[in-house]
Amino acid sequence: MDLRERYDEATKELDPPLALVDLQAFDHNAGDMARRAAGKPIRIATKSIRCRFLIERVLKHPGYKSLMAYSLAEALWLHELGLSTDILVAYPTVDRQALARLAGDEQARQHITIMIDEPAHLDLIDQARQGQGQGQGQTIRVALDLDVSWRPARNVHIGTRRSPLHTPEQAFDFAQTIAKHGGVTLTGVMGYEGQIAGLGDSPPGNPLKGQAIRFIQARSAPELNERRALAIERIRTVADLEFVNGGGTGSLETTATDTSVTELAAGSGLIGPTLFDAYTKFRPKPALVYALPVTRKPAPNIATLFGGGYLASGTGTKDRLPTPYLPRGLRLTGTEGAGEVQTPVRGTAALNLKPGDRVWMRHAKAGELAERFTTYYALDGTTLTPVPTYRGEGQCYG
């Protein structure tokens, strides 16, 4: 059955706006990512999913073993649910209440690792531990965030702005500081190579940009593998590391070749948002879509949809806009884009649309759509099951 007909038929008793997860596509993406990881376990980036049902589902797939949360409060919630005994918080936290909860929970301290990259983070941890009256034996697990951007020349930075620890020497010096600190245990290292993992090498309609991106990635990957391996070798002289995490959906193949990396991180590839249409090495299936109803026809080739202004975070460019998906042959208008209360779409496919019909859309980023819906409808064959998103469970982590 045509996808549009299948989705329309499955949701015919529901009124849009609504969000649907095609589990067949989701499972396909999970298997393909595991294949690309070449045997290295994948830590699931929960921010790209934000739905407990889907997190539990992918944990059952071969090749997936643990979780990467994007806030400590989220990690504590996931721990309380019992979803995993190994949760890494990918970003440093300054949430004093969450740190106090972690410091005061013996079980959580055994299963949650938080990220640090400067002494100020250690000071915050100390304050939390002191507030809980902890002794020397009650340490908090920490991981060191290594900056793995590419710096081919002076004052040239290509990649995400994350940790101040770029060189092996900087990482080793901070690892020594951690090792001498009585309240923490250094258990892991992480590095996110955004210039490879999060940057599509074939942006639509811009071949010159794609050529430049491929040039950057081809030179960044070997430099990073060498620098990261040296940093890990030095850090291991002062810390008994349990894991070295690297990668992202877009760099699974290249990061898997780094022998210093013990596990990979990924999440967006499970969902297949539009930003991941721009890669040449892989193409995830769109697993998450949402329907907007047609409310009026201001012109024969224009259909106006209800709501739909679900813009993704980031650079504020056109690639962060949602995209009309089904029926084929629709596009946003240049004057309105995706609006808060209405989204006009135009094209030949609009000629056959009428009020009450629905248009299926795709979001630019994977997890952020869950902030717009309290419920996802999981489609397994012809069976439709409502499942709550984080929002639907009363959870919001910014």
Written as six digits, the tokens of 63 are: 């090749």
Regarding whether 156 and 45 lie in a shared domain, the answer is yes
Regarding whether 311 and 220 lie in a shared domain, the answer is no
Structural domains in the chain (count)? 2
Regarding whether 193 and 89 lie in a shared domain, the answer is yes
Regarding whether 362 and 254 lie in a shared domain, the answer is no
> What CA–CA distance (Å, rounded) separates 103 from 348?
59
* pLDDT mean over 235-259: 94
Helix, strand, or coil here: 295?
A: strand
The domain boundary, picked from 240, 268, 296, lies at 268
Regarding whether 309 and 258 lie in a shared domain, the answer is no
Task: Kindly report the CATH number assigned to the domain that includes residue 214.
Answer: 3.20.20.10
Torsion of CA 19, 249, 34, 310, to 10 degrees: 0
Q: Is residue 230 part of a domain?
A: yes
Q: Is residue 349 part of a domain?
A: yes
Q: For residue 83, give its domain range.
A: 24-268
* pLDDT mean over 129-138: 70
The domain boundary, picked from 268, 300, 334, lies at 268
> What CA–CA distance (Å, rounded) separates 190 from 182?
22
Query: Tokens 């990482």 correspond to what residue?
Result: 171
pLDDT computed for residue 134 by the predictor? 61
Q: What per-residue string of b and e applies to 60-69 under the rule 16 or more CB within 10 Å gives b? A: ebebbebbbb
Supply angle C-alpha 274, 88, 270, rounded to 5. Answer: 25
Regarding whether 170 and 30 lie in a shared domain, the answer is yes
* pLDDT mean over 283-300: 97
Task: Kindly report the CATH number assigned to the domain that includes residue 299.
Answer: 2.40.37.20
Regarding whether 172 and 124 lie in a shared domain, the answer is yes
Cβ-based neighbours of 72, under 8 Å, separated by 6 or more: 89, 93, 95, 98, 99, 102, 112, 114
Tens of pLDDT, residues 169-209: 999 999 999 999 989 999 999 998 888 877 787 888 888 88
Q: Is residue 396 part of a domain?
A: no
Regarding whether 262 and 304 lie in a shared domain, the answer is no
Q: Is residue 306 part of a domain?
A: yes
pLDDT band, very low/low/confident/very high, at 135 (cuts 50, 70, 90): low
Cβ-based neighbours of 12, under 8 Å, separated by 6 or more: none
Written as six digits, the tokens of 258 are: 């780094």
Judge contact between 22 and 287, C-beta under 8 A: yes
Q: Is residue 241 part of a domain?
A: yes
Q: Is residue 16 part of a domain?
A: no
Tens of pLDDT, residues 205-222: 888 888 888 888 888 888
Judge contact between 223 and 148, C-beta under 8 A: no
pLDDT band, very low/low/confident/very high, at 136 (cuts 50, 70, 90): low
Alpha helices in the chain (DSSP H): 3-10, 23-36, 52-59, 72-81, 96-103, 106-111, 119-131, 168-179, 194-197, 207-235, 252-256, 268-271
Tens of pLDDT, residues 374-388: 999 999 999 999 999
pLDDT computed for residue 235 by the predictor? 97
Written as six digits, the tokens of 308 are: 């739909």
Regarding whether 385 and 292 lie in a shared domain, the answer is yes
Q: Is residue 333 part of a domain?
A: yes
Give the closest residue to 338 by CA, choosing from 352, 327, 350, 323. Answer: 323
Pairing of strands 42-45, 243-246: unpaired
Regarding whether 176 and 74 lie in a shared domain, the answer is yes
Judge contact between 190 and 246, C-beta under 8 A: yes
Q: Is residue 1 part of a domain?
A: no
Judge contact between 263 and 244, C-beta under 8 A: yes
Regarding whether 335 and 304 lie in a shared domain, the answer is yes
User: Within 13 Å and on the Cβ side, how many CA atoms surround 78?
Assistant: 33
- Reply yes or no: is the peptide bond before residue 327 cis, omega within 30 of 0: yes
Regarding whether 243 and 384 lie in a shared domain, the answer is no
The domain boundary, picked from 238, 268, 298, lies at 268
> How far, CA to CA in Å, does 49 sit from each of 3, 164, 175, 211, 289?
22, 28, 32, 31, 13
Of 187-191, 247-251, 307-311, 374-378, minimum mean pLDDT range: 247-251
DSSP state of 275: G
Q: For all residues of the chain together, what is the average pLDDT?
A: 94
